[in-house]
Chain A
Amino acid sequence: MNRLGLPLVTISDNPIPDAVIGYVSVQGAESVFGGKAKRLQKTARAYHAKKADRDSVRHNLEKSGFIILAESALGLSVSAPGGAYEEITGGRLESKEILLNVDADYVMYITHVDIIGDKQPRTLGVGSVKSKNLKADGVVVERPRFFHAVFPSPISPTSPKFHLRVPSDVGIALNAVAAHQLGHRGDGVLVAMPDSGEYRHPFFSANGFQLKTTITVVPGTNRSKDPVGHGTGESANIFAVAPGAVLQAIRTSNSAGKLVGAIAGFLQAKDLNPQPRIITNSWGGDQPFPPSGPPDESELALAAEIQDGIEQGILVIFSAGNGQFSIEPQVPGVLAAGGVFLDSMGSLRASDYASGYQSPWFDGVNVPTVSGLVGMRPRAQYLMLPVQPNCEIDQDESEPDPPVDSTSDGTFSNDGWALFSGTSAAAPQLAGVSALILGAKPNLSPAQVIEALTKTATDVTAGSCHPRFNNPATAGFDIATGAGLVNATAAVQFALDNF
């Protein structure tokens, strides 16, 4: 057993691959197989095989179905179906799961192939040779190995631009710390997030945050990569508020990082088992505003899916948009996340980066419902978030963007950190606050969670939302910020006191 209380080795359900890569050692004066002394000779020349023996072994291996990948004076690197290994060893190939430190403190079961049998060595992946005529003294099945890549720091870099850090500053600014101290951390609340992907940034493991293995939607995409950095960075906002929440990331981007499977990702999120309590979405479409008519049927089809999720008891959150106008945050019952900017003096104002409008399609719906922390135009470089090093966001934000912004975010283009926000950040912040509420009161409906958020939000009375809509923040509920900036501890207390 290891420190996680898990067995180091278990039997695997994974089949033996069609092609198993391995190494066959040709007999020389000395052998590393079968000898008593487990040490290297003073020179590798002791292991060199005669050319005639190497030729003989190569010939016999090819007859048994092996493909020779490379050859040295000591042996041959080979590829063959499992049956070929069994033929020359007399053993049997078996899959095993071995618990390994994969990277950046992530411990995972990794499938290995072992050669087992009465006359086989106990060492994992090592086989003896059955035939005395084959001048080989041992067989090794290649073990999975990992790149010793340089991982980004789990601690964010500094930047001359005013910004907030995760998890600390965002948790403080949304008044989540007092809730944490009272034991409300969103423990075990499952949050699904269809987005660009989830890179295994050390920020998450160093803070002990829980992420399930990412699900991919687009065939052929890597579950460990996030070529844009959007999903990775924005998901940090959830944990800044709810450190005990569990994230199920769903990668909906293609290999280039473009969002091509958003609808499929949303459907998969709804269909998860166990079902998530929250689906947070930092994406959407864009339509003319004001619209020339009702939404088309493809938009309504997605709206019906969203509505169905809410009716199943899932809290569905959509970002209001950064000047965009789209159907997702307008669907009745959705928690639409807008933007409020907290400046260096502690003052609040509506973010002019965030959309704010009354729905022309659904009576009584305001976008946003309530707001999270979002930066200001032109670039909303406001939250220092972890991303995949050298990804699109890491590069873009580290460059000036003349003529609107002559400075960069002050980070390197490959350091795995970038300053950005947008209502993409507000949605997972609201997901975090909602997870705190659901952790404290698990049986609440989406409508009750929204009531707790809106009844306790801090009113914002300064500034205006995005100029496309140009609505001012005013005393009380307003179009620009909805109910204002969420107040995590107050929202949890409201839920405990009133439901």
Chain B
Amino acid sequence: MLDDYLELILRWSAQGENLEAKSWLEKNGLSTSRMKNGLLITGSRSQIETVFSVSLENRELPFLLPIPVELQSSVASITLPKPRSYHL
């Protein structure tokens, strides 16, 4: 079962970083952190399901999310990665 708080990894298209796309994600209530080759998007599961118009129930991970129209020109992919765990 997925958790309430999720991390997504966004990869920019060939044009590179796009501040408008970053701003669009933040306006929709998601947090972003710049990565070496993209953007880390974080937020609650419900926020992410709303913004990306997708249900994350029972998805096999890693899962490629549909890219919203507003981001399609600048984003190559947005991935929900495999979970991490403590090495207990």
Which residues of A pack against B, CB within 8 Å? 195-196, 218-219, 228, 230, 254, 258-264, 267-268, 282-287, 296-302, 304-305, 307-308, 319-322, 324, 393, 420, 422-424, 427
Contact = CB atoms under 8 A, between A and B. Distances in A.
Interface stretch (B17-25, B34-42, B48-56, B67-75): B34-42
B87 A297 contact: no
A305 B77 CA distance: 17
Contacts of B3: 254, 258, 260
Interface string B57-88: 00000100000000000000101111111111
Nearest to A196: B86
A302 B77 CA distance: 15
Contacts of A282: 86-87
B4 A254 contact: yes
A296 B9 CA distance: 12
Given A254-B3, A301-B38, A304-B37, A322 B9 contact: no
Interface of B: 3-7, 9, 11, 33, 35-38, 40, 42, 62, 77, 79-88
A267 B88 contact: no
Contacts, number: 103
B37 A260 contact: no
A260 B7 contact: yes
Contacts of A300: 37
B6 A260 contact: yes
B45 to A, nearest CB: 10
B79 A297 contact: yes
B22 to A, nearest CB: 15
A429 B11 CA distance: 35
B7 A424 contact: no
A378 B36 CA distance: 39
A219 B4 CA distance: 11
25 contacts: A230-B88, A254-B3, A254-B4, A259-B86, A263-B40, A264-B33, A267-B40, A284-B84, A285-B83, A286-B82, A286-B85, A298-B9, A299-B62, A300-B37, A301-B36, A301-B79, A305-B35, A305-B36, A307-B36, A321-B87, A393-B88, A422-B87, A424-B87, A424-B88, A427-B87
A263 B7 contact: yes
Contacts of A423: 87
